Amino acid sequence: MIPVVLPLLLLLSPALAWIPLNEWESGNVTVSVGEAGQCVCHVYVPETTFPADRVQHMQQVSKDLILEVDIQVKKMVSYEGNLEVYLKELMDLTVRVAMLESSPDKYIKLDFEILRVELREFEALVSQLKDSLNSTSPMFDSLHTEIRNMTLIVNQLETFDKSNLEVIRIEFAKLQKKLQECQKEQEFIKPDIGNCNHTGIMAVSKPTVIQLNAHLSAGYQYGGWGKDSKPVRGYESMYFYGAYTSPNVYDFYLYSDYEKLILRSAFKHHDLPSGWEGTGNNYIVHGNTIYYQHNTPFSMSKLNLTSSKYEYRVIADASQRFSYSYSDHQNIDFAADENGLWVMYASEESKGKIILAKIDEKSFGIEDQWNTGVFKQLAGNAFMACGVMYATRSVDLNTEEIYYAFDTKTKQEKHLNVRFQKFQEKYTNLDYNPTDQKLYMYNNGYYVTYNVKFNRE
C-alpha cells in the first residue's frame, strides 16, 4: 500500500478546521503532524495505477449484453406471434380431423394425404420453435402428443375408408346408374311443343305420381284429371279433376294452377244438374269446355265453363256394349291433340272395334271418321297425338304397352311395342295433352303423369 500526503490546505478549510485530528483516523486513512507542523494524511490504495481499460471493457460487455437481450426479446415476441399462428393452425387441424372422424365416408384418399402432410409440417414447426427457445416446457410436449394423436386418427380413418371402399364403389355405381337414368329422363323434359314433324311415339317416361285425389280417398277409383288442351287466355295453368266411387259423373273441380291442385284449393266447383249427369270417366277439358259422356239420352255432352251452358249430340251408331278393359261404361271417349278434338267409340256394325271421329267444335258434330283395327274391350285405353290414335293394353300388373297406332293422314295402322310402367294395376283415364306433350293418367285414385318422346328422325 502506498501512502499519499495531502497538503496542509485541507486544515485551512473553515468546514474542516474544527474537526479534531483523531477523527480522520479510520481504515486506510491516517492523519499526523509533520516536523514543520504541517498536517500529513496517509491514504492506502490497492494499486499504483487506475484500471481504466478494464472499466472500458466492462462497459462494452454491458452494451453487448443489452443488445443481445434486445435481440432475444424481439425473438420472443416473434416466437410468441408464430406460436399463436401455430396454435390456430393446430385448432383448425383438430376441427378438420374431428369432422373427418364423424363422417369419413365423405372424404377421399387425397384428403387423408393432405391432412397427413400438414400434420408433419406442423410437427416440424413446433420442433423448430422448441429448439429456438431452447425450452423444455410441457406445452411443447403436449403439442407433440396432440399431433401424434391426430396422425393416428387420420391413419385409422384411412384404414376404415379402405375397408369400406367396395361399399363406396357399389354406391358410386348406383349413383352413376341413377345419373344415367336421369339423363334419359331429361330427354323427355324438353318437348318440342306443337311440332308434329316425327314418325310417332318411341318412348314413354317413368310415371310421376303427384298425389292422392282431392277427396283424399283411395275409394274414389273412377275419375280423371288434367289440363285444358286448348286453354283460353288467362287459364293456361288451369287444372281439372273429378272422381267418384262408381263410374258416374256428377261434378268437376277447377284449380287455377298446379299449386292449387296440390293444395286442393278449387276456385270453382261444378255440380251437374239433374238430367245432365254423365258416366264413363272419359272426359277432357278443351277450349274451356268439359266434354263428357251423357247418360240420358246416351250421347256426347259438353259444358261451357264460362257460360255454364250445356249441350249434347247423339252419335247414332255408338253402342253402350263396348267399354275399355279397366272400367265399365267407358263407351264414348274424348281426346284432343295438336289437330283438334276427337271422339272414340265402338258400334255393332264395327263389331266392337274402335271408330275414330273428328269433332267440329263449332257445330259439335262429326266432320270425319275412320274405322280402326282395335277391339275396344281388349284395350286398356286410347288417346290421340298429332293425328294418330294410340291404343294401350296390359302386359302385366306393373306394365302397360302402347301396342297399336292408326294414322288419320295416311289411313295406315301399325303395331307397336312401347312399354311403360304403371303406378298401380288399373286406371280409368288416360289422355295426351298437346300443351306440354304429357300423358295424364288417373290411376286407382292417384294423379299420375308421363312424358312422351317422339321419334324425330
pLDDT tens for 315-332 read 999 999 999 999 889 999
User: How many Cβ atoms sit within 10 Å of the Cβ of residue 434?
Assistant: 20
Cα–Cα–Cα angle for 22, 24, 29, rounded to 5 degrees: 120
**Can you tell me which residue has the cell 277439358?**
285
- Give one word for 325, left, alpha or beta, with left for phi > 0 and alpha for psi -120 to 50: alpha
Cell numbers for 447: 294423379
**pLDDT single digits (tens) 38-83:** 777 666 555 555 555 665 666 665 666 667 666 766 666 666 666 6
Question: Measured between alpha carbons, how far is 222 from 416 in angstroms, rounded to an integer?
Answer: 28
DSSP 8-state secondary structure symbol assigned to residue 372: E
Confidence (pLDDT) at 214? 93
Close Cβ partners of 191 (under 8 Å, ≥ 6 residues apart): 436, 437, 451, 452
Question: Among 159-173, 350-364, 407-421, whose mean pLDDT is lowest?
Answer: 159-173
Confidence (pLDDT) at 131? 66
Q: Residue 411, class by beta-carbon neighbours within 10 Å (0-12 exposed, 13-18 middle, 19+ buried)?
A: exposed
For residue 326, which of 444, 241, 179 has the smallest C-alpha distance? 444
CA-only gyration radius of the chain, Å: 52
Specify which residues 241 forms β-bridges with.
225, 253
Between 164 and 400, whose confidence is greater?
Answer: 400
Close Cβ partners of 224 (under 8 Å, ≥ 6 residues apart): 240, 241, 242, 243, 281, 282, 283, 284, 428, 429, 431, 440, 442
Confidence (pLDDT) at 75? 65
Close Cβ partners of 295 (under 8 Å, ≥ 6 residues apart): 277, 278, 279
Backbone angles phi, psi at 197, to 5 degrees: -85, 75
User: How many Cβ atoms sit within 10 Å of the Cβ of residue 433?
Assistant: 23
Backbone angles phi, psi at 424, to 5 degrees: -135, 170
Question: Measured between alpha carbons, how far is 60 from 43 in angstroms, rounded to an integer?
Answer: 31
| Residue 323 three-state SS | coil
Question: Measured between alpha carbons, how far is 186 from 201 in angstroms, rounded to an integer?
Answer: 16
Supply the DSSP string of 34-92, one letter for each residue: -TTS-EEEEE--S-SS--HHHHHHHHHHHHHHHHHHHHHHHHHHHHHHHHHHHHHHHHH
Is the link from the previous residue into 297 a cis peptide, with omega within 30 of 0? Answer: yes
For residue 319, which of 286, 280, 368 has the smallest C-alpha distance? 280
Distances (CA, A) of 100 to 157, 288, 327: 8, 59, 58
Cell numbers for 292: 263428357
Domains of the chain: 9-43 (no CATH), 52-163 (no CATH), 197-454 (2.120.10)
| Residue 276 three-state SS | coil
For residue 406, which of 378, 385, 427 has the smallest C-alpha distance? 385
Question: Measured between alpha carbons, how far is 309 from 303 in angstroms, rounded to an integer?
Answer: 6
Close Cβ partners of 213 (under 8 Å, ≥ 6 residues apart): 220, 223, 225, 241, 243, 442, 445, 446, 447
Q: Residue 426, class by beta-carbon neighbours within 10 Å (0-12 exposed, 13-18 middle, 19+ buried)?
A: middle
* Mean pLDDT (the chain, rounded): 79
Between 282 and 62, whose confidence is greater?
Answer: 282
Question: Measured between alpha carbons, how far is 98 from 94 in angstroms, rounded to an integer?
Answer: 6
Q: Residue 423: pLDDT band by 50, 70, 90 thresholds?
A: confident
Q: Is residue 237 over pLDDT 50?
A: yes
Cell numbers for 275: 238430367
Question: Measured between alpha carbons, how far is 240 from 4 in angstroms, rounded to an integer?
Answer: 132
Note whether 232 and 250 are within 8 A (CB): no
Q: What is the largest CA-CA distance in the chain?
A: 178
Q: Is residue 33 over pLDDT 80?
A: no
Question: Measured between alpha carbons, how far is 136 from 142 in angstroms, rounded to an integer?
Answer: 11
**pLDDT single digits (tens) 178-194:** 555 655 555 565 678 88
Q: Residue 281: pLDDT band by 50, 70, 90 thresholds?
A: confident
Between 368 and 113, whose confidence is greater?
Answer: 368
